[in-house]
Structure 1
C-alpha cells in the first residue's frame, strides 16, 4: 500500500551516530501497525467531527471561517445550551436566558448602542438582519428608499 520511493542516493548513517545516546529510546516505540489508508481514514474522521467545507455546504460566509477558541465549543456544548428545545418552558431555561441577556448588555456597553440582538448568527442571515434594520431606520425617518447597493 502507498507509494514506493526510489532508492536513496544519500549514505546511511546510524541513528546512534547522529543523535545523542541519552535521547535515544532503550526499546522500540509501541506504535500501532496500520496501513496508509487506515491512517488517512483516522485523521479524516477526526477532522470531520466538526463541520467543514470539504464534507458539506458551509452555511456561513467566508468571513466567519476563522479561528474560534476551543472554549466556545466547550461552553456551547454544555447541556444547559446544547439540550435546550425551542418549546421548552421558560422557567427551565433561565440560566441560558440570563447569560444571553448579560452578553447583550455587554455588547451594548461596548458599542454604545441602545439595542442588541444575538439572533442573526452570521453570514447572509446577519446581513439580511442588517438590511432590515437599515430599512426600518429609513422608514422611521419618512424615507421610502427601495434600493440598496451591495458591494
Structure 2
C-alpha cells in the first residue's frame, strides 16, 4: 500500500532554515515605495520552514512517484513520455535560446533562423517529405496539426 505523501507544509519545523540570502550589496527598497498599496503584503508569507536537505528529499521522493522513461518502458505519449536525451535539456537552456524573443531584431535572430532552417531540411530528408513545420507546440497542439496535415494531404 502506498502511504499518502505529506505536503511540504506538514514537514515544516519552526525555526529551521534551508538557505539565507546574503546581505544586500545594493540599496534596499521598501516595497511600499515601489508598488501600489494593493500589492504590498501586510503580513509575512506563511512559508514552510525546512532545511535544504529536507526540501531536496521531499521533492525527490515525489518525483519517484512519477512514471517516465527513466524508470521503465512507455510506448505511447506525444511529449512528456518520449525519450529526450539529457543533452537536449542542456542545449535548450543555453542563452541563445532562452534569451530569444519573437520581436527581436532579425539580425540578432539569424543564428536561430539558420538552425530552424537546417533542422527543417534535415527532418525533410529523414522522413522523405517536401516540407515540415516546426510551429506547433507539443502535445495535443502538435497532434492536431499533424492530423490537419494528413487531412490536407489526402483532400
Structure 1 pair 62–137 and aligned structure 2 pair: CA distance change class (3 A) = closer
RMSD of equivalent CA atoms = 3.1
Aligned to 1:87: 103
CA distance in 1: counterparts of 2:151 and 2:130, whole angstroms = 17
Residue correspondences, number = 95
Aligned to 2:56: 42
Give 5+ residue unaligned stretches, structure 1: 1-33, 54-60, 140-151
Deviations for 1:47-86, whole angstroms, at most 9, x for unmatched residues? 89x9xx7xxxxxxx94422342221111111111111011
Structure 1 pair 114–89 and aligned structure 2 pair: CA distance change class (3 A) = same
Aligned to 1:11: none
Structure 1 residues 12-51: aligned runs within 5 Å: 38=51, 39-44=53-58
Q: Which moved more, 1:125-134 or 1:64-73?
A: 64-73
What's the TM-score, normalizing by structure 2?
Answer: 0.50
Give 5+ residue unaligned stretches, structure 2: 1-17, 19-49, 67-75
Q: Runs ≥4 in structure 1, deviation > 2 angstroms?
A: 37-40, 43-48, 61-64, 134-139
